Amino acid sequence: MNARQLQAAYFGKAAGGFQRQRQQWMTEREYDALRKGDQILVDLNTGLWSNEVTLTTGRTSYSKKYDVYSKTMYFTDDMGLPITKGKAPLKLFKRMSYRGEILDPPSISLSFGGGATTVKSYKKLASMDKYALRQKTFLHLMNKGGSFGIVSAYTTISKSENQERHGMLMGDLQKMGYRKITTLRGKWEGVSEKALLIPNINPSHLFALGEKYGQDATIYKSKNGVVGMYYHKGKYAEVAVETKGDPAFQMADGADLYSKDRNWSFELGFAWGKHIAWDGKTPLGRKDALLALQ
């Protein structure tokens, strides 16, 4: 945080003057609750450009001289990751006093390059631990070289118990070291449920969690392009693969397909009823998948 930015935060230049910033767009509690990795969607005007952007929270610092807290807010790329190089971040300030007068509540302002910004609206998004899955990210994962798993903890028990199990599953994944986890809303045998999509998960971890939480099946897409529904009890699999070996799936805006994320959804085109023997451990190869479609 340079001197210009600190002075802007302290003297009210960062967002059009001290008096205007007394109309808070973010509360002190909301500011303090922002942790490293948390993301916010902000509709702002810098004077040079106006747009809705997703910002990822970086580290927090404090200036005793100006009595100002500062959070570094990075722009976010299409994969939901912070852009830490090549693009200047913004600064989110919390000013505790003004010319010796304690502010109650403290004044919150957002600065870009030390210049003025006007915040029209904002909302907190999921943190990087639960980042929102974007269509571009999904398409990247579906291409050759991308892999992911989908697993749920839901069963036929009560809603509250399912929500508790969902949280436990999230915790298990985080203990295993997985941080980029997306919650999906979908259906299994006509019943609504939540599931988790985890990029680049080790298939052995995925299958073990499916068995731990008593799931009929888990979904795994390997880097060779094979998307499989792996059944734990019967030890067989069904695949969602086109005749040329590419993953079979459908995407639509706002449609009621299998798994939804915000205003779009996707469905994997499994060849239901075409069972392929599975050893319970190893994901299917491309050759096995294509033979099953003949």
Whether 226 shows a pLDDT value over 50: the answer reads: yes
Same domain, 285 and 196: yes
Same structural domain for residues 213 and 234?
yes
Instruction: Tell the residue number behind the tokens 């706002």, with chain if given.
Output: 254
Q: Domain boundary residue among 72, 106, 126?
A: 126
* Residue 116 pLDDT greater than 80, yes or no: no
Same domain, residue pair 100 and 144: no
Do 187 and 120 fall into the same domain?
no
Pick the range with the lowest mean pLDDT from 90-94, 95-99, 109-113, 142-146. 142-146
Confidence of residue 92 (pLDDT cuts 50, 70, 90): very high
- Domain end (from 126, 161, 191): 126
User: Measuring CA to CA, which residue among 292, 239, 293, 245 is closest to residue 268?
Assistant: 239
Q: Domain check: are 211 and 193 in the same one?
A: yes
Among 40-54, 63-77, 176-190, whose mean pLDDT is lowest? 176-190
Question: 227-231 and 68-75 as β-strands: parallel, antiparallel, unpaired?
Answer: unpaired
146 Cβ contact list (under 8 Å, min separation 6): 140, 199, 221, 223
Residue 97 β-bridge partners: 102
* Residue 110 pLDDT grade (very low, low, confident, very high; cuts 50, 70, 90): very high
Task: Report whether pLDDT(3) > 60.
Answer: no
Q: How many structural domains does the chain have? A: 2
- Whether 117 and 207 map to the same domain: the answer is no
Q: What is the per-residue pLDDT for 27?
A: 92
DSSP class of 76: B
Do the Cβ atoms of 169 and 153 come closer than 8 Å? yes
Residue 188: predicted pLDDT = 62
pLDDT, position 18: 43
Looking at residue 271, its pLDDT comes to: 81
Which one of 101, 126, 151 terminates a domain?
126
The reported pTM is: 0.53
Domain that holds residue 176: 135-292
Residue 150 and residue 105 share a domain? no
Same-domain pairing of 10 and 106: yes
Q: Are 59 and 72 in contact (CB under 8 A)?
A: yes
188-220 pLDDT, tens digit per residue, is 655 678 889 999 999 999 999 999 999 999 999
More confident residue, 153 or 260: 153
d(CA 194, CA 183): 7
Q: Which stretch, 143-152, 236-245, 252-261, 285-294, has highest mean pLDDT?
A: 143-152
- Do 139 and 117 share a structural domain? no
Residues 145 and 9 in one domain: no
Bigger pLDDT: 103 or 127? Answer: 103
Residues 68 and 12 in one domain: yes
Judgement on whether residues 274 and 140 belong to the same structural domain of the protein: yes
